[in-house]
Chain A
């Protein structure tokens, strides 16, 4: 049977199960509307470490350990760890992998990394190269700010469309045998760039990528928006979400009734002063592995299309006046096959 069913989409022959997940978040996320769905909420975003980078790496380590523990598997049974983050040379991931000693494949997909790691973890299992994999990503508000923007204590005003990087990490253990929820289809995104250059305006930069991937997913699977209980994008936040709805209408897909964005779900933007909403790899990772996984286990969501979005810029590319290449990957997660 041909697994590849379109230019961008694969249908997994033996869909792996998401056996367990773990979501760990910072104090601010712990005050947000999804607080009750997180496995661990930090009181202090240093997490007992002396730097934010070390704290972020510890987030990954703890998320992986937590997810493996609740899967009931021994850590030695995990064949691969797929991980990535926002920091230069993905140090949060590799330093966590140094401690965990699981065969490690580092990924970079900016804020789309949760979907990249799930894609890889699922395909490797379906391909017969592994039985159990762990997929993880993280971000940390303070380590991201200092790399991409300004020192924290500098008194600058953020534009109203800016987003707030989520402090948190989400991990998922995928296994070959299990009773679901299953990863059934993967639509890998292409880079889309509509020319946005303002690094604060990431929702608008990434929305066309989400639209491109979602419409490719529908075209290649023959499904339509009605098939899913929920379509959720990664971190487009309020402005990107609105643009996505309108652009998809032009493509002939009406998703508004069943569509949300993790960046709009994680914070109460008005009370928490997070402007347009959440962003960062951790945003979609903790919403998926915390809230959404919980809803699937309960049976409130049976068919989910998870579309994590990434802005593949760097501070250097911004200084050189480049626009923001963006990407989105879609993962179909279903309770039954």
Chain B
């Protein structure tokens, strides 16, 4: 072919042909779904508080219930459908974290419990855990030294 392009030229050439992501629609959906998850969390927290659980128990209990819900919705095949239109709205809440662990565990069951479920369960959540925990440690050290 005569008209060879470098990556910059080609990027420019295809730009007008690429479909635009529906940012506004995506943001609204994420806002609604993410908001509903947060509402649910608030509701659970309030119920715990009403029944005179202390702050630690309430926080842990809320997280446990939401994680369970995320896992359940993944298991029955609803969470992936939700994620398709909710985007970050269903990824960012703690239910999304449950989804990211349960979905590979389901997917790789066929490769057995060691090389499948065990080895692959954290393929998606692993990096989040690593950098999440590392960041907490660094912040912890800064807090210990300076405050």
Interface of A with B (CB < 8 Å)?
A: 50-51, 146, 150-161, 192, 194-196, 201, 204, 208, 211-212, 215-216, 239, 242-243, 246-247, 250-251, 276, 323
Interface of B with A (CB < 8 Å)?
A: 1-8, 10-11, 13-14, 17-22, 26, 74-75, 77, 79-87, 90-91, 96, 99-100, 102-104, 106-108, 110, 124
Q: Is the CB of A323 within 8 A of B107?
A: no
**In the complex, how many angstroms separate the beta carbon of A241 from the nearest chain B beta carbon?**
10
A159 to B, closest residue via Cβ: B21
Q: Is the CB of A146 within 8 A of B79?
A: no
A195 to B, closest residue via Cβ: B7
Q: Is the CB of A154 within 8 A of B3?
A: no
A171 to B102, CA, bound (A): 37
Q: Is the CB of B10 within 8 A of A196?
A: yes
What's the A-B contact tally at a CB cutoff of 8 Å? 108
B7 to A, closest residue via Cβ: A195
Q: Is the CB of B19 within 8 A of A161?
A: yes
Label chain A's interface by main secondary structure.
loop
A153 to B83, CA, bound (A): 10
Chain B residues with CB under 8 Å of A152's CB are 80, 103, 107
A219 to B, closest residue via Cβ: B1
Mind listing 28 A-B residue pairs with CB under 8 Å?
A: A146-B108, A152-B103, A153-B75, A153-B77, A153-B99, A153-B103, A154-B79, A154-B103, A154-B104, A155-B79, A155-B80, A155-B81, A155-B99, A159-B21, A194-B4, A195-B7, A196-B7, A204-B14, A204-B17, A204-B18, A208-B10, A239-B14, A239-B17, A239-B19, A246-B17, A250-B2, A251-B2, A251-B3
Q: Is the CB of B110 within 8 A of A50?
A: yes
Q: Which 3 A-B pairs have the closest CB atoms?
A: A155-B83, A195-B7, A151-B107
Q: Is the CB of B18 within 8 A of A161?
A: yes
Label chain B's interface by main secondary structure.
helix
Chain B residues with CB under 8 Å of A158's CB are 84
A247 to B4, CA, bound (A): 10
Q: Is the CB of B19 within 8 A of A160?
A: yes
* A-B contacts besides A153-B106, A155-B79, A211-B1, 6 pairs, CB < 8 Å: A151-B103, A153-B75, A153-B99, A155-B82, A155-B90, A194-B7
**In the complex, how many angstroms separate the beta carbon of A196 from the nearest chain B beta carbon?**
7
A7 to B20, CA, bound (A): 40
Chain B residues with CB under 8 Å of A243's CB are 13-14, 17
Chain A residues with CB under 8 Å of B86's CB are 155
A160 to B84, CA, bound (A): 11
Q: Is the CB of B107 within 8 A of A208?
A: no
**In the complex, how many angstroms separate the beta carbon of B57 from the nearest chain A beta carbon?**
29
A195 to B8, CA, bound (A): 8
**In the complex, how many angstroms separate the beta carbon of A108 from the nearest chain B beta carbon?**
23
Contact of B107 among A153, A156, A247 (CB under 8 A): A153
A159 to B17, CA, bound (A): 14
Chain A residues with CB under 8 Å of B75's CB are 153
